[in-house]
Structure 1
Amino acid sequence: MASVNAATWIGSISVLLWGTLALLTKLSGGEIPEFQLMAMTFGIAFLLMGGRWVFSGHSGAHYLRQSPLAWCIGIVGLFGYHFAYFKAMTLAPAVEVSLLAYLWPLLIVLLSAFLPGEKLRAQYIVGALVALAGCWLLISRNADGFAWENLPGYLVALSCALIWSSYSVLSRLVRSVPTDAVGWFCGVTAILALICHLLWEETVWPESVLQWIGVVGLGLGPVGVAFFTWDHGVKHGNI
C-alpha cells in the first residue's frame, strides 16, 4: 500500500507540471508552429531521458525491446493525442476544444472501472452525464445555439480525451514496461512531429533567450518529466 501511495503522489507531480504549460507556451512566443514545437519539446524530453541513461552508464538501447502493444499504446497516446488536439484547434474554437479535450480525467475514472478488480459504480455514470451536460451547455451558449459547423472539431477534441484516457488506463496492462521506455516513445513522437512539420509548416525559430527558455522549459517539465512521472503513477499508483 505504501508503494501504491508513493506512486500515486509521483503521478500527481505531472498535474502540477502541466499547470505550467500555458505559462511556458506563452514564454515561447506563441509563433512557433505547433508540430515544430512538438518536435522540439519531445526531442528535449528524449534527451532528458538519454541523459539519465548516460549517467547510469548505458545507452538505453535495451529499452527499445518492448512488445508491439506497449509501443502502440505509447506512440498513439503521446503522438495521437497531440496530433488530434492540433487538428481540433483548426476545426473549432480553442476554448471549446480545450474544454472537451480535458474531459480525460472523467474518462479515466470510467474506463478504469473495467480494469481487473475494479467495477463501474453508479456515481461514475452520473458524474459523466453531469459533465457532458455541462459541456453541452457551454459550447451551445451562443445566441444561435449549437454551432453545427464546429461539430467535426468537437468530435476530434473528444477523441483527444479518449486517446489520453485510454493511454493512461491501458498502461496498466503493460505495467512491467519500465518508465525509461517512455523516453523512446518521446523520441519517436518527436520524429513523427518533425515529419508533420516538414510537410505542413514553415520553420520559425525562437528569437530571444526568453523564448528559448520557454521551449526548453516545456521539454523538461510538462512535456518531459510530466510524462515520466505520469507513466509511473498510472502503472503503479491508484489510478
Structure 2
Amino acid sequence: MTAKKATSIGLIAIVLWSAIVGLIRSVSEGLGAIGGAAMIYSLASLVLLLTLGFPKVKTFPRAYLITGSLLFVCYELCLSLSLGFASTGTQAIEVGMVNYLWPGMTILLSVIVTRQRCSLLIIPGMLVSIAGICLVLAGDRAFSFSEIAASVASNPLSYGLAFSGAAIWAIYCVVTKKIANGSNGITLFFILTALTLWVKFLAAPQPEMVFTLRVGVNLLLGAMAMGFGYAAWNIGILHGHVTLLATASYFIPVISAMLAAVMLNASLSVSFWQGAAMVSLGSLLCWWSTRQR
C-alpha cells in the first residue's frame, strides 16, 4: 500500500470519529443512554472482529492487559454516557467538546511523566483550549464564570463524565505507550466495554428501547464509525504520513460539532464556534510545542 493511499484512509478515520458524538446521541434518544451505548459497542466489536480479528491475548504484557483494558473501558463509558445523559442535543455537543480537552491533557501529562521535551508554547496552548471550553459553556450568554458554573450545574453528571473521560484518555495514551510493547488490544477492549454496558443495563430498570428507522440507521453508522475508524487509523499511522494525520486530528472538535449540529438539528451560537476553534488551536499549539528544538 502506498503512503498516499494509507494517509487517505487515515483521514477517513478522522471523519468517522468526528461523527461519533452526533451518532451516539441520536441512538441514545431512542434506545436510552445505557442501552444505546451497549448496542453501539456490541456492533462495533463485531466490526472490529471482522476487520482486525481477535487479538492474541496471551502475548499481551499483563500490565497492558489489566491497566489498558480498565482505562479504555472507563473512558468509553464516560464518553458514551456523558452524551447519552445530556438533556438536549445542543448540550450533548457541548459535552462532546469538553471531552476534546484530551489532546492537550495528553501532551501535558506526557511532558510531566515521561519528561518529553517541549517549549513554553504548551502554556498558551493549554490556556487557549481552556478558554475555548469556557466560551462553549457560556453559550450565547455573556461570558462570565457564573454563567459557566450555571451551565455545568444544569447537568453535572454529563459534564463531569466528559471531563473525567478526557483525563482518563490522556492517562491511557501515555501509560499504554510505555507498557503495550507493540500490542493492540482494541478489539478486546471494545468487547469488554460492551459487556460492561450490558451488565449495567440489566442491573437496573431502563427506559423502553424504541426502534425506528432513524435510530436503526444511526446505530449501524455509529458502530461502523467506531469500528472502521480504529481500523482505518491503524492503517494510516502504520503506512501513511503520520505528521499530516496528527495535524488533521486536532481539527476533530470543529468537524465533530459541524456534523453533530446537522444530525441533531441543533442551533449553535457564534461563541460556540469560536470556542470550538480555540479548542482545536490550543491542542495544535500543545502538539507543536513538542516539535520545537
Q: Verify same fold: TM over 0.5.
A: yes
- Offset at residue 105 of structure 1 (A): 2.2
Residues 61 and 180 in structure 2, CA contact (< 8 A), matched pair in contact too: no
2:116 to 115, 118, 132: 118
Deviates more, 1:7-16 or 1:67-76: 7-16
Structure-2 separation of matches of 1:226 and 1:70: 22
Cα pair distance change 1:132/1:182, threshold 3 Å: same
> Closer, same or farther in 2 for the Cα pair 1:9/1:172, shift >3 Å?
farther
Q: Name the TM-score, length of structure 2 as normaliser.
A: 0.62
Does 2:189 align with 1:190? Answer: no
**Structure 1 residue aligned with 2:259:** none
Return the alpha-carbon distance in structure 2 between the equivalents of residues 106 and 53 of structure 1: 29
Structure 2 CA distance for partners of 1:134 and 1:216, relative to 1, 3 Å: closer
Instruction: Give me the whole-angstrom Cα distance separating, in 1, the residues matched to 2:237 and 2:171.
Output: 11
Equivalent residue for 1:227, pick from 230, 235, 250: 230
* Residue of structure 1 equivalent to 2:177: 172
Aligned residue among 78, 83, 86 for 1:84 = 78
Deviation of the 1:219 alpha carbon? 1.2
Query: In the alignment, does 2:212 pair up with 1:214?
Result: no
CA deviations 1:174-203 (Å, max 9, x no partner) are 453433x21111111110011112224235
Q: Give the letter for the 1:187 counterpart.
A: I
Contact 1:45 1:186 in 2 (8 A): yes
User: Does the 8 Å contact 1:104/1:162 carry over to 2?
Assistant: yes
Distance 1:113 1:232, change over 3 A: farther
Which residue of the partner structure matches residue 41 of structure 1?
40
Aligned counterparts, 1:45-56, within 5 A? 45-52=44-51
Q: Is the 8 A contact 1:77 1:163 kept in 2?
A: yes
SS at match of 1:31: helix
Map of 2:57 onto structure 1: 63
Q: Name the structure 2 match of 1:57.
A: none
The answer on whether the counterparts of 1:104 and 1:161 sit within 8 Å (CA) in structure 2 is yes
Structure 1 residue 47, shift from structure 2 partner: 1.7
Which residue of structure 1 lines up, in the alignment, with residue 267 of structure 2?
none
Partner of 1:106: 104
Q: How does 1:143-162 map to 2 (within 5 A)?
A: 145=147, 146-147=149-150, 149-150=153-154, 152-153=156-157, 154-162=159-167
Given that residues 64 and 184 in structure 1 are in contact (C-alpha distance below 8 angstroms), is that contact kept between their aligned partners in structure 2? no
Name the amino acid aligned to 2:35: Q
Instruction: Determine the C-alpha separation between the residues in 2 that align with 1:27 and 1:96.
Output: 15
- Equivalent residue letter for 1:69: A
Runs of at least 5 residues in structure 2 that lack an aligned partner in the other structure = 247-293
Quote the offset at 1:126 in angstroms: 1.2
Q: Are the aligned partners of 2:61 and 2:181 in contact in 1 as well (CA < 8 Å)? A: no
After superposition, residues 17-32 of structure 1 pair within 5 angstroms as 17-22=16-21, 24-25=23-24, 28=27, 30-32=29-31
Q: In terms of mean alpha carbon deviation, does 91-100 or 31-40 score higher?
A: 91-100
CA distance in 1, matches of 2:171, 2:16: 21
Instruction: Check conservation: 1:74, 1:182, Cα contact below 8 A.
Output: no
Q: Is the 8 A contact 1:70 1:177 kept in 2?
A: no
- Shift of the 32–169 alpha-carbon distance from structure 1 to 2, 3 Å rule, reads same
Code of the aligned partner of 1:170: V
Q: 1:158 to 1:211 in 2, by over 3 A?
A: closer
- Tell me the matched-pair count: 229
Pair 1:187–1:151, CA change in 2 (3 A): closer
What is the distance in 1 between the residues matched to 2:171 and 2:232? 17
TM-score (norm 1): 0.73
Q: Which runs of 5+ in 1 are unaligned?
A: 55-59
1:204 aligns to 2:204 (yes or no): no
Using the TM superposition, name which of 142-151 and 104-113 deviates more. 142-151
